[in-house]
Chains A and B, each alone.
Chain A
Amino acid sequence: AQSVSQHNHHVILSEAASLELGCNYSYGGTVNLFWYVQYPGQHLQLLLKYFSGDPLVKGIKGFEAEFIKSKFSFNLRKPSVQWSDTAEYFCAVNAHAGKSTFGDGTTLTVKP
């Protein structure tokens, strides 16, 4: 069975600080990887995705993530966070049959 581990439950940063959120998954085969974001009061929405090609993928609002197959990792990064990035971030793995498994999420609080 596939599983996803997010290392940080709650991250607090000041505006302009750099962000890196860790995500590791367990599954030996081919996977599609996702980061979803849930802003306060809104529904879960896609931030970025990887399914093939360049392991460095770029998403909305300046976010990027790097797939490192040898480390089973898909870490999310942003060079300079803004107050509006305050949200909950979920890493997800889709290995087969359209079934996605989610991590327990990281709450990011950006102080203005």
Chain B
Amino acid sequence: EAGVAQSPRYKIIEKRQSVAFWCNPISGHATLYWYQQILGQGPKLLIQFQNNGVVDDSQLPKDRFSAERLKGVDSTLKIQPAKLEDSAVYLCASSPWGLAGALNTGELFFGEGSRLTVL
């Protein structure tokens, strides 16, 4: 079974520039998450989608961050304009949560992450 795919793995930009990250979840997983992991901290949830609807985006800085999951499969996270404090690893995860008949334990399946450095 293919895992969660993310790209790019690394990105270096200057502040005020824009960047986009892409995620393709495990096939059939209904729920997709974007987490931000700053060095020395645990992952912090930015946004949670179930199919193509937003479940929770309360921690997403909406003045600069946006995310979409148009067809309920892959997703894009965009930052515009970037700030120095956005330097972090952006993790995408998926789970079968919300899928009829799925055992909804909340287990997450993570991608490799996209490391962003803002100069």
Interface residues on A, range: 20 to 34
**B106 and A94 contact, CB distance less than 8 A:** yes
**B108 and A100 contact, CB distance less than 8 A:** yes
Interface residues on B, range: 20 to 34
How near does chain A come to B1, taking the closest CB pair, in angstroms? 14
Given A97-B55, A98-B98: A49 touches B43 (CB 8 Å cut-off): no
Main secondary structure of the interface of A (DSSP, over half): strand
How many residue pairs between the two chains, A and B, have CB atoms under 8 Å in the bound complex?
67
A63 at the interface (CB under 8 A from B): no
**A43 and B50 contact, CB distance less than 8 A:** no
**B110 and A34 contact, CB distance less than 8 A:** no
**B112 and A99 contact, CB distance less than 8 A:** no
**A102 and B31 contact, CB distance less than 8 A:** no
Interface residues of B in 61-119 (CB under 8 A from A): 91, 93, 95, 97-98, 104-113
How near does chain B come to A13, taking the closest CB pair, in angstroms? 20
Interface bits A1-42 vs B (CB < 8 Å: 1, else 0): 000101000000000000000000000000010101000001
Q: How many Å lie between the Cα of A36 and that of B93 in the bound state?
A: 13
Q: How many Å lie between the Cα of A70 and that of B30 in the bound state?
A: 33
Interface bits A64-95 vs B (CB < 8 Å: 1, else 0): 00000000000000000000000000101010
**B106 and A104 contact, CB distance less than 8 A:** no
**B112 and A43 contact, CB distance less than 8 A:** yes
Closest to A102 in B: B42
**A90 and B107 contact, CB distance less than 8 A:** no
A56 at the interface (CB under 8 A from B): no
List of 8 A-B pairs having minimum Cβ-Cβ separation, nearest first: A94-B106, A98-B97, A102-B42, A44-B110, A104-B42, A32-B106, A51-B105, A43-B112
Not counting A44-B91, A51-B106, A98-B97, a sample of 7 additional A-B residue pairs whose C-beta atoms are within 8 angstroms of each other reads A6-B42, A43-B113, A44-B93, A49-B107, A97-B48, A98-B31, A104-B42
